[in-house]
Amino acid sequence: MAGKKVLIVYAHQEPRSLNGSLKKVAVEELSKQGCTVTVSDLYAMDFEPRTTRKDVIGALSNPEFFNYGVEAYEAFKRRCLASDITDEQKKVQEADLVIFQFPLYWFGMPAILKGWMDRVLCQGFAFDIPGFYDAGFLKNKLALLSLTTGGTAEMYTKTGVSGDFRYFLWPLQHGALHFCGFKVLAPQISFAPEIASEEERKAMVASWAQRLKTIWEEEPIDCTPPWYFGQ
């Protein structure tokens, strides 16, 4: 939709991978709609995933005992966070929709993307206490996880060996995104591209492009325990 701003946080090392193709087609489709699309290509940026003292410019609020969460919160309020964090916060602040594009590692995000969440979505910026879940500071924004798996769709069912895919989405969608107030759109899961045929991989990319044509008409999921675990 013209005028909308989209941030794609992309975590894959290889541009020719399926993740690379899914990111590329999203940029193309959304740009064609007149959206402004920004990509944070975390590996290309050599993004720092670790939460350290270096994230705070200048003096600590308590130099005697280092508490990262407290120091990041204080630094945010004083505008003393490292520039690689504030650059990302600015992109998030401007976005109507944030798409996370990544391969699933151990039922979670790759470390570089986990580190982006740890450092960028700090207290004061993304949430406060109180000021989380439906009251989170990013409550007027949409978020969407577009991910690839090693396992097949059949493995990620209630009776499958890996359990329902919604189980691993709970900490990512609910514990991080919804906690910060995001309205979460249904995930885009491309199952087992490594063992898929060229045709099947092309179909995965095409179905994502097709979905993006009407993405602005979608309603968010009901991000509560029943969506993930049933009644």
pLDDT in tens, 27-46: 999 999 999 999 999 999 99
CATH of the domain at 176: 3.40.50.360
| Contacts (Cβ under 8 Å, ≥6 apart) of 202 | none
Q: What does the alpha-carbon distance between residue 138 and residue 131 come to, in Å, rounded to a whole number? A: 10
**Based on the structure, what is the number of domains in the chain?**
1
**Average predicted confidence (pLDDT) for the chain:** 97
Task: Report, in angstroms and rounded to the nearest whole number, the Rg of the chain calculated over CA atoms.
Answer: 18
By residue range, what is the domain housing residue 84? 5-229
Contact assessment for residue 99 and residue 144, using Cβ atoms and an 8 Å cutoff: yes
Mean pLDDT throughout 211-227? 97
pLDDT value for 1: 85
Checking if the pLDDT of 205 tops 90, the result is yes
Cβ neighbors of 89 (< 8 A, separation 6 or more) are 81, 120, 125
The average pLDDT across 152-171 equals 96
Average pLDDT of span 44-57: 98
pLDDT value at residue 185: 98
Q: Which two tokens stand for residue 118?
A: 């740890």
pLDDT score at 2: 80
| pLDDT at 231 > cutoff 70 | no
| Mean pLDDT across 154-180 | 96
Contacts of 161 (CB under 8 A, 6+ apart): 151, 155
Average pLDDT over every residue of 67-95: 98
22 within 8 A of 40, measured Cβ to Cβ: no
**pTM of this structure:** 0.97
* Whether the Cβ atoms of residue 182 and residue 141 lie closer than 8 Å to each other: yes
Please give the distance of CA 73 from its chain centroid, rounded to a whole number.
Answer: 21
